[in-house]
Structure 1
Amino acid sequence: MSNDYAAILTTLNATVLIVGTVQHSSLMAKLGRRTAAEIRDLHDVMGQLIEDLRAGVESSPELLRRSSYLQKIAKKKRPYILTASFVWMVVCMLLISSQIDILKWAGAAKPGVSSGLARKAFMITVAAILVLAVEAIFSAGVNAKEEANKVMVDFNLKYPQAELYALANRQAERNLPQPESDTTTPDARP
């Protein structure tokens, strides 16, 4: 390892730590806002269900479906948040550990060639950069998928599957060829 290479790795590591921390913080903030909004919606729906129960009124099927949906998504998001945080924590620990090793090497009176340290620092830095790139791509994909799912869920909550199947069956019946009636006229023959 040379002093120039150590300087390059130090710069890259610092950049990855800063960009990654900002990226991770914004992702967690976005997920936190979405999760909080979904929990508020769930509490509102559950409150309405409790009020209906107290009043002896039967809750609407749409309200019951919404309650079920909100409970499911609340449980599904927790693992993603924990996994993203764990991965970023591991990347930070590896980068910081690598940086400490580089600083120890550079702080020696006469730092010598340390190909093992250079190789290790290179691998950790490249892996961290790849994690940042994958996280950005994954985040964009998840955002697009969540928006599409939200539109579909809103539609499915408003129009339950049974109604959609009934509509599809009615349309299929209309498009079926009709049997010929007995009153059809025979072809005119010359």
Structure 2
Amino acid sequence: MSHDYVAIVTSLNAAVLLVATIQYGALIRNAGRTFTEIFETRNARIIRVITDLRNQINPTDEELQLIKRPSFLRFLRKQWGFIVASGIYMSICFGILGSQIEILKWAGTANAKAEPAMAKNAFYTAVMAIVFLVAESAIVNLIALIRSARQSTQGNPFEGYTAEEIERVRQLAEAAGTTAIPQANSATQVPNNPTNAGS
């Protein structure tokens, strides 16, 4: 252990803590927005049901299920990225702070011994903090990607269309760019969107 080594490790630890704090702060803001959106969506659904009741329209069971008061545990189940990042961030903070306290204590001791074990511990702590920091970013982004993929597959985008019509479009797409494009006839022609029919 030398004073030059102490300066290098201290600078590295400070940089890791800064980046980790910025990343974690962004996750906290994102989690807060998600929590706020949950309640805003619930309030909008309540208002919609009240409007329907005033118009003598009974709400469906699905609408009432969506209005159930959102619990904090349900919110946490949707925030796995935030939970994982919190654990990693705390591990980084405690590891670096513990190592840094020992380093500062050594630097403030007159005629301190070389302490190779302390130098090795400071090195491994800094390396692990960097690895955890990179892993946090990768894991959080992966979880966000999985959640986005799940949301994109929810619901039925082809509601109102038959399987034959969907298959007909797929056949046309497969034949695109070839000389054998099947022609749509009156029996298999894809109709306009039912929601626009009669407009």
State if a TM-score over 0.5 links the two structures. yes
2:33 maps to 1:38: no
Where in structure 1 are there 5+ consecutive unaligned residues?
173-190
Q: Distance in 1 between matches of 2:26 and 2:135?
A: 15
Partner deviation per Cα, 1:121-169 (whole Å, 9 max, x = no partner): 112111111111011112222333333333223xx1777xxx79x9559
Query: The residue matched to 2:120 in structure 1 has which SS?
Result: helix
Q: Distance in 2 between matches of 1:30 and 1:86?
A: 17
Q: Which residue of 1 aligns with 2:9?
A: 9
Q: Distance in 1 between matches of 2:95 and 2:67?
A: 42
Q: Distance in 2 between matches of 1:53 and 1:78?
A: 34
Query: The residue matched to 2:38 in structure 1 has which SS?
Result: helix
CA distance 1:75–1:99, shift in 2 (3 Å): closer
Q: Which residue of 2 aligns with 1:84?
A: 85
CA contact (8 A) 1:42 1:67 kept: yes
- Identical aligned residues as a percent: 30
CA contact (8 A) 1:62 1:158 kept: no
CA contact (8 A) 1:66 1:157 kept: no
Q: Which has the higher contact order (CA 8 A, sep 6+)?
A: 1
The normalised TM-score by structure 1 is: 0.69
CA contact (8 A) 2:81 2:140 kept: no
Q: How does 1:114-129 map to 2 (within 5 A)?
A: 114-129=115-130
Worse overlay, 143-152 or 70-79: 70-79
CA contact (8 A) 1:13 1:125 kept: yes
Q: Distance in 1 between matches of 2:50 and 2:65?
A: 15
Query: The residue matched to 1:129 in structure 2 has which SS?
Result: helix
CA contact (8 A) 1:45 1:67 kept: yes
Report how far residue 51 of structure 1 moved. 5.4
Q: Distance in 2 between matches of 1:16 and 1:85?
A: 15
Q: Which residue of 2 aligns with 1:27?
A: 27
Q: Distance in 2 between matches of 1:43 and 1:157?
A: 25
Q: Which residue of 1 aligns with 2:181?
A: none
Query: The residue matched to 2:132 in structure 1 has which SS?
Result: helix
CA contact (8 A) 1:9 1:121 kept: yes
Query: The residue matched to 2:90 in structure 1 has which SS?
Result: helix
Q: Distance in 2 between matches of 1:26 and 1:75?
A: 17
Query: The residue matched to 1:142 in structure 2 has which SS?
Result: helix
Query: The residue matched to 1:57 in structure 2 has which SS?
Result: coil
User: Across the two proteins, how many residue pairs are aligned to each other?
Assistant: 167
Computing the radius of gyration from Cα coordinates, the structure with the larger value is 1
CA RMSD of aligned residues (A): 3.6
The normalised TM-score by structure 2 is: 0.66
Q: How does 1:1-190 map to 2 (within 5 A)?
A: 1-49=1-49, 52=52, 57-60=57-60, 63=63, 67=67, 74-78=75-79, 80-153=81-154, 156=155, 167-168=162-163
Q: Which residue of 1 aligns with 2:190?
A: none
CA distance 1:152–1:67, shift in 2 (3 Å): farther
